[in-house]
A and B are shown apart, each in its own frame.
Chain A
Amino acid sequence: MTTEEEIQLVTVVGEAIIKLTQGLLDVKAGKLDPEVVLAAANAVSDTVKATDAAIDKLAHDKFDTSESP
C-alpha cells in the first residue's frame, strides 16, 4: 500500500466511524448512550493518530530517502 493510499484509508475509516456513531445515535433515538459518545471520542483520537503516522511516513519518503547515484 502506498502512502497516498494510506492517507485515503485514514479519511475513509474516519468517515465510516463517524457515520457509524451517528447511525447508532439515530437508532437509539432517545436517551443518549454514553458508550456511543465515548466511541465517537475514540474515533476522533484514532483518526488523529492515523494522520500523524501517515504524514510521518510521507515526510520520511520526502526527506530521508536518499536516491542511489
Chain B
Amino acid sequence: MTKDEARGLGWLLGFVIVTATAVALMTGCGASARQKTVNAAFVVIDAGCSKFAEYDLAHQRQILAASADRATFDAAIGKWRATRDKVQRDCTAAYRADAVAATLDNEQSFAALKAAASIVYDEIKALGVIK
C-alpha cells in the first residue's frame, strides 16, 4: 500500500465514521438513519479489513525477504501472525456486529457495532496500515 493509498483510506474511514455518527446523533438515531449508518459501517469495516488483508500479504513477503535463515523467519512470522490473528478476530467481530445490527435494528446492537468498528479502526491505525 502506498502512502497516498493509506492516507486516502484513513481519510475515508475517519470521514465515514464521523459523518455517520453525526447523522445518527442529529436525527436521534431513528430507524432509517440507524440503518444508513449500519450500511456505511459495513463499507468502512470491509474497506479497512480488506486493506489489512492486502497489507498482511505484503508484510509477510517482506519478512520472508528479510530473513536469512529458517529460525529467523519462524520467529518473525510467528510474532507477526499472532498480531495479525488478533486484528482478524476483531475484524470478524465487527462484521458480525454489523450483521446483527442490520438484523435487529435497535439501539443495543447499534452501540455494539460502533464499539467493534472503533476497535478495528484503532488496531489497523496502530499498525500503520492507515495513517
Question: Which A residues are closer than 8 A to B by beta carbons?
Answer: 7, 10-11, 14, 18, 21-22, 25, 31-34, 36-38, 40-41, 43-45, 47-48, 51-52, 54-55, 58-59, 62-64
Contact = CB atoms under 8 A, between A and B. Distances in A.
B103 interface: yes
20 contacts: A32-B42, A34-B103, A36-B42, A37-B42, A37-B96, A37-B102, A40-B42, A41-B91, A41-B92, A41-B96, A44-B50, A44-B91, A48-B88, A51-B57, A52-B81, A55-B61, A59-B70, A62-B64, A63-B70, A64-B70
A18 B95 CA distance: 14
Given A58-B61, A63-B70, 11 more contacts: A7-B57, A22-B43, A22-B46, A34-B100, A40-B49, A44-B53, A48-B84, A51-B56, A55-B60, A59-B73, A62-B64
Interface of B: 35, 38-39, 42-43, 46, 49-50, 52-54, 56-57, 60-61, 64, 67, 69-70, 73, 77, 81, 84, 88, 91-92, 95-96, 98-100, 102-103
Main secondary structure of the interface of B (DSSP, over half): helix
Contacts of A41: 49, 91-92, 95-96
Given A44-B49, A48-B88, A63-B70, A32 B39 contact: yes
A2 B56 CA distance: 20
A11 B92 CA distance: 20
Nearest to B69: A63
A67 B52 CA distance: 36
A67 to B, nearest CB: 16
B98 A32 contact: yes
Contact of B54 (A14, A63, A64): A14
